[in-house]
Structure 1
């Protein structure tokens, strides 16, 4: 008889019990889920009827702005600099030692028109004036002498002509007497010789007069040259002083007493303090817009602002001229505006960086609206009876957050300024503070 293995028998018994225990663990969750589904269905089937709320159209709370058709012009904002309209470099016109310099001749000093800034030693130039004056006086005396000699020769020629006439008449009588035998041939020859001598003397006087006239003309020309020499000497003497040509500000000085200046050496540079101008560049587009305006560019008034210590100094200027050609390196046309003499809190100085506002082209029958009004660069939305209506427009110009438009707009109608992602024709809107419709479903923007 074969013996029984107790360990094998126990293991088989345990496996049989484990399978029986898995059945309730699987069935229990399934029963719970089934019961839940059944209960939910019963609750849905037995729930009471709830009254449905009728659908409401969404209304957007928006801002609008009225359309005002008028002549509008954009204001162009550019930057520029102040510059002196008139500057001068005073250079030595004559050479010499500097003997005098104006005491306050320093950079930044104000000088008045006619003030002597620098004076060069006058000694040699005064001597040149004296010498030229003496030479001129001598030339005048020689001219007077030549004219007197000419007058003497002209007065004596009449006597020589008279003597020749007498001699010719005596010769005619002698020829008559020779035929009658009252005079010899020798007497006739002597009279013919006298006539020849008298004619020769008259010709000599006439030639002498021509010579004296030439001398007078020659001396007159020499006199003009000496007069110019005297004027030159006097001018050189006057040029020993460098004088301020206008009221201005000194920008540089390079002179000291005792220094030797040569001709064309720079002594003083200055600019006219009451003739400043604003210089700026308009782009091709900006200049084209202004040029198409009926009002000319030159003569247009502009506003200029100079920020000094955080405080704006405001003044006006008038466009005086426009550059002769487009400056490619600066990307536009250079414009020069003259600044009239006016009182400001601070003195204007060349080189200052300024902000400039230039009136642009006038667009008649247009509306000025916020930039947020325009959708797609070609249309806006008007509010008509609480709904949006599309209006086709053309953007004429942008102006510092505003836009100038023309097109299908009516004076006085209100247009949408609030940006709405769902914007479209017929969208329902209302403004804050207006009566709220009973069926409104508000979408705040």
Structure 2
């Protein structure tokens, strides 16, 4: 009984003890609250990299990817049928040939015989024409003689009539003179008809000579067509010739590509296409630079935008553009090369350049106030250039935070660390399309898988190009430009 009473007392003490201590602490806190500072401690100040916004004249560079094409490619086809009796030594894939160079010869025996026959026909027609001209000359002379004879007969009849009036001529003599005149008239008519026939013979001979010349020209053309020639200087590809092979008319024997007539076809998004238009909505002939990466070596070629495609393909987005290249004929650029295209846009005035880490997708930036507190400002994004962003509608001369960290927000106090700035120059600042590093990045697993899936599902890519891109994506460090291009296509596909 006593034990139970002691146990109950202990439990009561253990219960009331903490409650009493808590009540004492609460009363003490209320009693000392007015003497303690509000906020519970000093305000935390963060260090932030900042820069002063300066008005610049920037020249954006748009980055795109495309394929080199030749706008002057000729299919070499057999101009005649027959057996190949001669093939040039440089009639091979990749060989360079000059203008009017002989590439192959088809057996010329039959065309040579036809030309010989045509030459004989021309000679015969020429002789016939000469004979017709001589006959016409003789017929003209005979007509003149007949006309003179008729004139004499007419004079004789007139004399007989005068003598008849004087009684010195008989009626029989007058009748004889009239018959002689009639015969002379008939002779003149016959000679005139012969002259007309002679002139018509000349016309027929001329027509025969023309037909003979046409036949000769056709025979000479047939003989000329037995030799395959290169119409311009270029490189050969897809050559399919064997000495002694029988070829038919218009059979393809190869292709001739002009290495100096190159252009690049590249696709841009609708937003990028709007930057390539002038005030009238026409395509600007902006300068471009094509870059072909050959391992550690880069091949560059200048050019300019020439036109946009006439139609937008089914299932495609953006615009297909064509830029003509001012490439050296000895350049290693070839049709089919996958190249990067850097388009130099027109200069932009009154813009500021910020890193991509300083601005959100909708254009919000953090400005530094006089009391070193942050305030949010909305800028207008003009261009995105790799890791740089060009903006307008910003307070020039004030400081902006270069990197939006999670702890930064409006009202937060910072300690500004001014970043190094390049000295100002008189000309426009050229904003590169990619950061100044080796141009390669390391991909995470999920990001790499997403890019590989997008490339495998792309229907426009050829098998060779797809294999080449997948090989690049399998490397440890992947070209940044390639990643950005594929991700841009993915965003366009999702947006459509």
TM-score range relative to shorter protein = 0.7 to 0.9
Distance apart, 1:136 and its partner CA: 0.8
Residue of structure 1 aligned with 2:204, choices 198, 204, 218: 218
Choose 369-378 or 141-150, whichever is displaced more. Answer: 369-378
Q: TM-score, normalised by structure 1?
A: 0.81
For residues 247-288 of structure 1, the C-alpha deviation after alignment (integer angstroms, 9 at most, x for no partner) is 333222222222222211222323223333222223333323
Alignment partners' CA distance in 2, 1:67 and 1:40: 57
- Displacement after TM superposition at 1:220 (Å): 1.4
Once the two structures are TM-superposed, the CA of residue 296 in structure 1 deviates from its matched residue by 6.5
Gaps of 5+ in 1: 1-18, 435-445
Instruction: Report the 3-state secondary structure (helix = DSSP H, G, I; strand = E; otherwise coil) of the residue aligned with 1:367.
Output: strand
In structure 1, C-alpha distance between the alignment counterparts of 2:144 and 2:8, rounded to whole Å: 171
Deviation at 1:391, TM superposition (A): 4.3
SS at match of 2:238: strand
Query: Counterpart of 1:24?
Result: 6
How many positions carry a matched residue from both structures?
A: 414
> Structure 1 321/39 Cα, relative in aligned 2: closer, same or farther at 3 Å?
closer
Give the Å deviation of 1:104.
4.2
Give the conservation status (yes or no) of the 8 Å contact 1:292–1:361.
Answer: no
Q: Give me the whole-angstrom Cα distance separating, in 2, the residues matched to 1:406 and 1:294.
A: 24
- Quick one: distance in 2 between partners of 1:256 and 1:20? 125
Secondary structure of the residue that 1:76 maps to in structure 2?
A: strand
Shift of the alpha carbon at 1:389? 5.0
The residue number in structure 2 matching 1:12 is none
Quick check: 2:51–2:418 contact (8 Å CA) kept in 1? no
> Given that residues 50 and 417 in structure 2 are in contact (C-alpha distance below 8 angstroms), is that contact kept between their aligned partners in structure 1?
no
Deviations 1:166-191 (A, max 9, x none): 22222222223223322122222222
Alpha-carbon distance between aligned partners in 2 of 1:53 and 1:316, rounded to the nearest angstrom:
69
Q: CA–CA distance in 2 between the matches of 1:195 and 1:318? A: 92
- Structure 2 unaligned blocks of 5 or more: 420-496
| Aligned match of 1:161 | 147
Distance in 2 between the 1:139 and 1:43 partners? 138
With over 3 angstroms needed to count, the CA separation of the structure-2 counterparts of 1:202 and 1:410, relative to structure 1, is farther
Q: CA RMSD in A?
A: 3.3
Q: Secondary structure at the match of 1:291?
A: coil
- Using structure 2 for the length normalisation, give the TM-score: 0.73
Contact 1:61/1:429 (8 A) holds in 2: yes
CA distance in 2, matches of 1:381, 1:38: 51
Summarize the Cα distance change of 1:168–1:97 in structure 2 as closer, same or farther, 3 Å threshold.
same
Secondary structure at the residue paired with 1:431?
A: strand
1:339-418 correspondence to structure 2 within 5 Å: 339-342=325-328, 347-360=332-345, 362-375=347-360, 377-385=362-370, 386-388=372-374, 390-407=376-393, 409-418=394-403
Aligned partner of 1:16 in structure 2 is none
Q: 2-side partners of 1:368 and 1:274: how far apart?
A: 39
For 1:237 and 1:90, locate their aligned partners in 2 and report how far apart those are by CA, in whole Å: 18
Structure 1 residues 423, 184: closer, same or farther in 2, change over 3 A?
A: farther
Aligned with residue 95 of structure 1, among 63, 81, 103: 81
| Greater relative CO, 1 or 2 (CA 8 Å, sep 6+) | 1
Rate the CA distance shift 1:411–1:212 in 2: closer, same or farther, 3 A.
Answer: farther
Residues 187/382 of structure 1: CA separation in 2 closer, same or farther (3 Å cut): farther
Q: Given the superposition, is the C-alpha separation of residues 377 and 165 from structure 1 closer, same or farther in structure 2, using an over 3 Å criterion? A: same
